[in-house]
Every structure is written in structure tokens, then in C-alpha cells.
Amino acid sequence: MWKLIDLLVYKLALSVSRDGCEGSHEHDKTEHICGRPLGLCFNQTSGDLYIADAYMGLLIVGPQGGLATEVVTRAHGIPFGFTNALDIDQEPGAVYFTDSSSQYQRRNYISVILSGDKTGRLMKYDPESKQVQVLLENLSFPNGVALSKNGDFILLAETTHCRIMRHWLKTPKAGTFQVFAQLPGFPDNIKRSPRGGFWVAIHSRRLWILKLVLSYPSLGNALLKLPLDITKAYSYVAKWTGNGLIIRLSEQGVILEMLEDTSGNRWKSISEVVEKDETLWIGSVTMPFAGKYKI
């Protein structure tokens, strides 16, 4: 459910056969070797757990658990560079997932934004035919995905542009792609709410300096050429600026609820929000705990 828990459990499994992957890694320099799970979803019929691993592609673990095995690592001849999120259409078992970039890896995620990279893709994997299909390409940091309740459309977080896009899968609109909601910050995962609509986790608000940089791609590329680790620099700044933010959108893309940590001390880099029994469970890519919020 939460990025931190996902990461620890996954590393435990990998440690069975991967030297150097034992235990936790606070500042992990080995994630490209040990893996980084960014999306999880069970096929409710088979009991299989599908995993979108940032470095290893689409993986699967059977109902009995064990070491994850490779399902697919490329589409149309292009290897996945930053496999990110997934959701499953339970009736046919189709797996929808994103590859955020074919040029940059997860540990360089800020470079995806600053460079204006548009190599992201949305894909569909059919477990029956074992084929993968590219549904959308030339995307700017495609991140979280969530199917609508009846499977008519799928929502996609386009992180660079701070927006949620909708891709119609059925109805006469099938194949069309449109803006679903514009957001005040950089979205990560999307999850359906049992009360209707969708919860969107916002990594951080889009500060004025980032608005400026994103308006001028040449400026972003110039920053990437500086002799510094731009991802570490951004992470340091984010600790002191962005508060945690979560938003619930209606089926029409209207903001229904917005919750923000005004204390500035706890919720940071929010990656996922799951609602169950009138409680929100909140995950983060950087904080060493899962948040719990009673609605």
C-alpha cells in the first residue's frame, strides 16, 4: 500500500538471491541493482501480484509469494527506463502501466522534469497473449494510473505539467485523450475512492521557480549541466518548502476535497493515498512512516 513498506518487503524478497540487497538503505545507491517497486496491484481472480519496478520492468509474484519474476521489460523494441505505476482491469485481467521515461531513471527523476523529456508511455499488457501494447507515447513524466469503476476510461498523472489526463478505453470516445484536471502541484499516484471519484497524491506544490524553469526548457537543460546532483539539491529544498497535499477529484475532474499539512513538519513528498473504512492511509517516497488520517 505504501512506498516505504513496498520497498522493504520487496528488498527482503530480492535479498534471497541478490548480494548487497539485504536490510534497509536510507540513502540507497544500489536501487538500480536491488529494484524499486513503484506500483502494485493484485489480479483478484488468479491471486497474482503485478509489480511495476522502476528498474526491472513489469514483474509478477504468484499467490504463494516468493521472488518476483520478469513479465516484460520493453515495448516496440524500446526498453523501459522508469517503470512506474499500474492498475488492472479485473474482468479481462489487462494490466495498464506507465514508463515515465526511456532516457532517465528513477534516481534522476528531477531531470525528467527539468529537461522537458517526452519519452514517457502508457501501456497495456495482456496476460493471455503475453503481448504489450503502447496506448500513448510522447508523454511528459506519466506517473500514476487509475481505471474508472466501469473501465470506460483510465486516468494518467502527467507529473511535469501538474495535471491529470483521461484516456477513453470504451464508449464512442474510445482512443481520445484529454485534460481531466489541472492541479496546484506535481501528482504522483491516483487511487479510486470508495465514496466516488479519485484520490491524487501531490508530491509537492509547483513553486514559482519551477514554473519559470518549466516555461523555458533551455533553462532547465542548463541547470542539468551544472556540476551538482540536481536531484539531491531539489530533495534538500523540498524538505523546507513543500507541505504534503492530497486531493479528491470527482468523476468529472472537479476538486471535491483538498487536505494539506500546514504544520510543515510531517507530510512530505506524498506518493499515495488509499481510502478504507473512513480512513486515509498516506504513503511517501521519503518519510519513514505511513500516515493515517480519519475522515
pLDDT at position 214 is 64
Q: Is 294 helix (H, G, I), strand (E, B) or coil?
A: strand
Q: Which three three-digit cell numbers place residue 125?
A: 499488457
Give the integer Cα–Cα distance in Å for 62 and 112: 33
Q: What digits encode the pLDDT tens for the residues 24-42?
A: 655 567 888 888 999 999 9
Q: How many CB atoms lie within 10 A of CB 94?
A: 19
More confidently predicted of 214 and 289: 289
Q: Which three three-digit cell numbers place residue 124?
A: 497495456
100 near 158, Cβ under 8 Å? no
Q: What digits encode the pLDDT tens for the residues 185-236?
A: 999 999 999 999 999 999 888 765 666 666 667 766 676 666 667 666 666 6
Question: Once rounded to an integer, what is the mean pLDDT over residues 38-48?
Answer: 95
Q: What digits encode the pLDDT tens for the residues 61-96?
A: 999 988 899 999 999 999 999 999 999 999 999 999
Q: What digits encode the pLDDT tens for the residues 82-133?
A: 999 999 999 999 999 999 999 999 988 888 988 889 999 999 999 999 999 9
Asked whether the predicted pLDDT for residue 258 surpasses 90, the reply is: yes
User: CATH fold of 3-294, please?
Assistant: Neuraminidase (2.120.10)
Question: Strand order of the sheet with strand 83-89?
Answer: 83-89, 94-99, 120-126, 131-139
Q: Is 60 helix (H, G, I), strand (E, B) or coil?
A: strand
Q: What is the pTM of this model?
A: 0.87
Domain boundaries, the chain: 3-294
58 near 121, Cβ under 8 Å? no
159 near 143, Cβ under 8 Å? yes
Element of type H or E holding 209: helix 208-215
